[in-house]
Amino acid sequence: MSEQNSAATAASSAFAQLSLQPALLDNLQSLEYREMTPIQAQSLPAVLAGKDVLAQAKTGSGKTAAFALGLLQKLDVKSLAVQGLVLCPTRELADQVAGEIRRLARLIPNVKVLTLCGGMPINPQFGSLEQGAHIVVGTPGRVQKHLDKESLSLDSLKIWVLDEADRMLDMGFADAMRDIAKVCPRQRQTLLFSATYPQDIQQLSAEFQRDPLSVRVESTHSAHQIEQRFFELPNQEAKFPALIKLLQHYQPRSAVIFCNMKQQTQLVADQLKAKGYSALALHGDLEQRERDQVVVRFANQSCSVLVATDVAARGLDIKELQAVVNYDITPDPEVHVHRIGRTGRAGQTGLALTLTTATQGSRVVAVEDYQQSRAVWGDLDALKKNPDNMKPDMVTLCIDGGRKSKVRPGDILGALTKEAGFNGQHIGKINIAELHAYVAVHHSIANKAYSYLQDGKIKGRKVKVRKLV
Q: Which does residue 319 bind out of ligand ADP, Mg ion, none, counting CB within 5 to 8 angstroms by kind?
A: ligand ADP
Give the residue with the Cβ less far from Mg ion, 58 or 448. 58
Nearest CA-CA partner of 416 in 453, 447, 451? 453
Nearest CA-CA partner of 257 in 323, 301, 312? 323
Give the residue with the Cβ less far from ligand ADP, 42 or 61. 61
Check binding of 404 to ligand ADP (CB under 6 A): no
The 10 Å CB-count burial string (b at 16+, else e) for 416-447 is bbeebebeeebbbbbbbbeebbbbbbbeebbe
Give the residue with the Cβ less far from ligand ADP, 61 or 139. 61
Check binding of 350 to ligand ADP (CB under 6 A): no
Residues 7-66 that bind Mg ion (CB under 5 A): 63
* Among 317, 330, 407, 463, interactor with ligand ADP by CB under 6 A: 317
Give the residue with the Cβ less far from Mg ion, 63 or 339. 63
Check binding of 345 to Mg ion (CB under 5 A): no
Torsion angle, CA of 335/338/344/345, rounded to 10 degrees? -170
Give the residue with the Cβ less far from ligand ADP, 95 or 232. 95
* Among 18, 20, 62, 239, interactor with ligand ADP by CB under 6 A: 62
Check binding of 64 to ligand ADP (CB under 6 A): yes
Q: Which does residue 351 bind out of Mg ion, ligand ADP, none, counting CB within 5 to 8 angstroms by kind?
A: none
**CB 114 → ligand ADP: shortest distance, Å?**
19
Check binding of 403 to Mg ion (CB under 5 A): no
Give the residue with the Cβ less far from Mg ion, 60 or 344. 60
Report the 3 state secondary structure along the chain: CCHHHHHHHHHHCEHHHCCCCHHHHHHHHHCCCCECCHHHHHHHHHHHCCCCEEEECCCCCCHHHHHHHHHHHHCCCCCCCCCEEEECCCHHHHHHHHHHHHHHCCCCCCCCEEEECCCCCCHHHHHHHHHCCCEEEECHHHHHHHHHCCCCCCCCCCEEEECCHHHHHHCCCHHHHHHHHHHCCCCCEEEEEECCCCHHHHHHHHHHCCCCEEEECCCCCCHHHEEEEEEEECCHHHHHHHHHHHHHHHCCCCEEEECCCHHHHHHHHHHHHHCCCCEEEECCCCCHHHHHHHHHHHHCCCCCEEEECHHHHCCCCCCCCCEEEECCCCCCHHHHHHHHCCCCCCCCCEEEEEEEEHHHHHHHHHHHHHHCCCCCECCHHHCCCCCCCCCCCEEEEEEECCHHHCCCHHHHHHHHHHHCCCCHHHEEEEEECCCEEEEEEEHHHHHHHHHHHHHCEECCEECCEEEEC
* Among 42, 53, 56, 60, interactor with ligand ADP by CB under 6 A: 60
| CA triple 233-236-239, angle to 5 deg | 60
Residues 109-128 that bind ligand ADP (CB under 6 A): none
**CB 288 → Mg ion: shortest distance, Å?**
21
Give the residue with the Cβ less far from Mg ion, 37 or 322. 37
Q: Are 94 and 67 in contact, with CB atoms under 8 Å apart?
A: no
| Count of residues engaged in binding ligand ADP, rule: CB under 6 A | 14
Residue nearest to Mg ion (CB): 63
Q: Which does residue 301 bind out of ligand ADP, Mg ion, none, counting CB within 5 to 8 angstroms by kind?
A: none
* Among 42, 61, 115, 264, interactor with ligand ADP by CB under 6 A: 61
Dist CA 84 CA 102 (whole Å): 13
* Among 275, 289, 314, 319, interactor with ligand ADP by CB under 6 A: 319
Check binding of 59 to ligand ADP (CB under 6 A): yes
Residues 19-58 that bind ligand ADP (CB under 6 A): 33, 36-37, 40, 57
Residues in contact with ligand ADP, shown as a per-residue x/- string from 276 to 315 under the rule CB under 6 A: ----------------------------------------
Q: Which does residue 292 bind out of ligand ADP, Mg ion, none, counting CB within 5 to 8 angstroms by kind?
A: none
Give the residue with the Cβ less far from Mg ion, 164 or 232. 164
Check binding of 429 to Mg ion (CB under 5 A): no
Check binding of 428 to ligand ADP (CB under 6 A): no
Give the residue with the Cβ less far from ligand ADP, 128 or 431. 431
Give the residue with the Cβ less far from ligand ADP, 319 or 461. 319
**CB 276 → Mg ion: shortest distance, Å?**
34
Residues that bind ligand ADP (CB under 6 A): 33, 36-37, 40, 57, 59-65, 317, 319
Residues that bind Mg ion (CB under 5 A): 63
